[in-house]
Chains A and B, each alone.
Chain A
Amino acid sequence: MKLDPSFIWTAFVKLLSAIPTTLEITFVSVFCGLIIGTITALARIYRIPVLAQLSSGYVTFIRGTPMLTHLLLIYFSLPMLIDGLSSEFGLGWNSARIPMIAFAFVSFSITAGAYMSEVVRSGLYAVDRGQMEAALSVGMTTPQALRRVVFPQAFAASLPNLSNSLIGMLHGSTLAFTVSVVDLNAKAQIVASTNWKFFEAYLAAALIFWGLTLLIERITAFVERRINVYNRGGVA
């Protein structure tokens, strides 16, 4: 078999149509994961009874099992759950109508949530205790203090880790093809098998992933510069 350089370009163009799906999966799961992660991190930091233990259990179980397993577990359990609820309460739902990508959204959000929980927790710990005290002494309520003072600084502190997680989820989103979602990687496989030019197609996919990753890196670097104007840097 010989390398066909021109097919790399052909595949590249064909793959572009799958970028929105890949980005959609990535951003939905990172966004939902950030919300789950924030709630679980706060529950653990404030040692809220029951919720804190549940959160810790969630984090160790999800981080202790592969992302692909989460996807399969959701893929096989969610329809049962939905049909079960539907027949129990006569809701008229039908699991067959769930779009495949929804399974990816749900399961990857759960995956991302566990990793984000640690990212958010470290970010919150990076904010000096005195910041919270100052906010309270000014007369803010705890939620106001969190929103106005703690979260913005925690976000700035966890930005490098957040971008790490975002990149991880971008690459992890390729697993969605196991539940027949046509993401970038799946598209590459389709393009490759119809032409029998696997290497070229996957190389094109790799280049696109790299490009997207570079973009994420650039954007976070930009945001970091903007958001960290107040910070003169740590040890450097």
Chain B
Amino acid sequence: MIKLRGIRKSFGRQEVLQGIDLTVEKGEVVAILGPSGSGKTTLLRCINYLEKPSDGTIHISDFSLDCKHAGKKEIHALRQRSAMVFQQYNLFNHKTALENVMEGLVIVKKLSKDEARKRGIQLLEKVGLGAKLDSYPSQLSGGQQQRVGIARALALEPEVILFDEPTSALDPELVGEVLAVIRRIAKEGITMIIVTHEMGFAQDVANHVVFMDGGVIVEEGPPSELFVNPKEERTKQFLKRYTPEFSYSI
């Protein structure tokens, strides 16, 4: 279980997160929606401390961290409990697909190279890249790179995988293959928090949807409620742009 309490973050004078409380149950898939600048990506980056929150506490299962008094060791321990899939993939450019997946296993998890290789091959096959083990990121399409990124995150067996707009940098034709992979691993009961603009996908895959705006959570709930019957005016306004007013298909 992940519990965020009172997460605040300021860039200079601007407070982009104004006290966020969020609870994510084990195995839950949470989608965070919101307009640009709402703080959703910042929130996600705070969970694994790529952004240092100015206040609040982060609990991931048995581990908790008080952001005001976090030392290097605690931050490192926190990061080991999560993994991130980036908008720009951020694969290690100088390593092949397989080496990208192996890296964390060998260096952080201290697996032997043979074990790491076995696990790496398994995972890359799982995301449909069994034939691209020795390709460098520059030789892969965006969709393929992102799938390697997902395999790299899965390899660490983290408590939660954080997806930061995983399909925003992809052209429409490649979005599908990445979403299919995420959908598949969501079914395996891995806890995930996904920042996304893919409304249909969020509605379909998430168990819990969070709508953020202006650094606060405006509304949250199961997709069946939030998408169909949003309570807040701001949520309605936001969703209107994405979902057609009525659908006549039967």
Contact surface of A with B, Cβ cutoff 8 Å: 128, 130-131, 133-141, 144, 148-149, 152-153, 156, 229-232
Provide the main secondary structure of the chain A interface.
helix
A144–B79 Cα distance when bound, in Å, is 14
Q: Is the CB–CB distance between A230 and B79 below 8 Å?
A: no
Residues in B with CB closer than 8 Å to A153 are 93-94
A3–B82 Cα distance when bound, in Å, is 76
Of the candidates B82, B86, B93, B107, the one whose C-beta lies within 8 Å of that of A133 is B86
Residues in A with CB closer than 8 Å to B79 are 136-137, 139
B88, B92, B104 interface centre (most CB from chain A within 10 Å): B92
Interface residue? B90 (CB, 8 A): yes
A231–B93 Cα distance when bound, in Å, is 8
A–B Cβ pairs within 8 angstroms, 13 of them: A130-B86, A130-B90, A131-B92, A133-B84, A133-B90, A134-B90, A134-B92, A138-B104, A139-B80, A229-B136, A230-B94, A230-B95, A230-B138
In chain B, residues 103-132, which have Cβ atoms closer than 8 Å to a Cβ of chain A? 103-104, 107-109
**What is the chain B residue whose CB lies nearest that of A152?**
B94
From residue A223, how far is it (CB to closest CB) to chain B in Å? 14
Residues in A with CB closer than 8 Å to B91 are 134
Known: A137-B79, A139-B156, A140-B108. A230 touches B136 (CB 8 A): yes
- How many A-B pairs fall under 8 Å by CB? 70
In chain B, residues 68-101, which have Cβ atoms closer than 8 Å to a Cβ of chain A? 76, 79-80, 82-84, 86, 88, 90-95
A136–B76 Cα distance when bound, in Å, is 8
What's the interface size class on B, roughly?
Answer: 20 to 34
A156–B138 Cα distance when bound, in Å, is 15
Known: A230-B137, A231-B138. A140 touches B104 (CB 8 A): yes
From residue A178, how far is it (CB to closest CB) to chain B in Å? 42
A138–B94 Cα distance when bound, in Å, is 16
Residues in B with CB closer than 8 Å to A134 are 84, 86, 90-92
The 8 A-B residue pairs with the shortest CB-CB distance, nearest first, are A130-B90, A138-B104, A137-B84, A134-B90, A139-B108, A230-B136, A139-B80, A232-B138
From residue B97, how far is it (CB to closest CB) to chain A in Å? 11
From residue B2, how far is it (CB to closest CB) to chain A in Å? 16
B50, B94, B137, B156 interface centre (most CB from chain A within 10 Å): B94
A136–B108 Cα distance when bound, in Å, is 10
Of the candidates A131, A135, A139, A149, the one whose C-beta lies within 8 Å of that of B76 is A139
Residues in A with CB closer than 8 Å to B48 are 136-137
Taking A134-B90, A138-B108, A230-B138 as known contacts, 7 extra A-B pairs with beta carbons closer than 8 A to each other, sorted by chain A number, are A133-B90, A136-B48, A136-B49, A137-B82, A139-B83, A140-B107, A148-B107
Interface residue? B40 (CB, 8 A): no
From residue A41, how far is it (CB to closest CB) to chain B in Å? 19
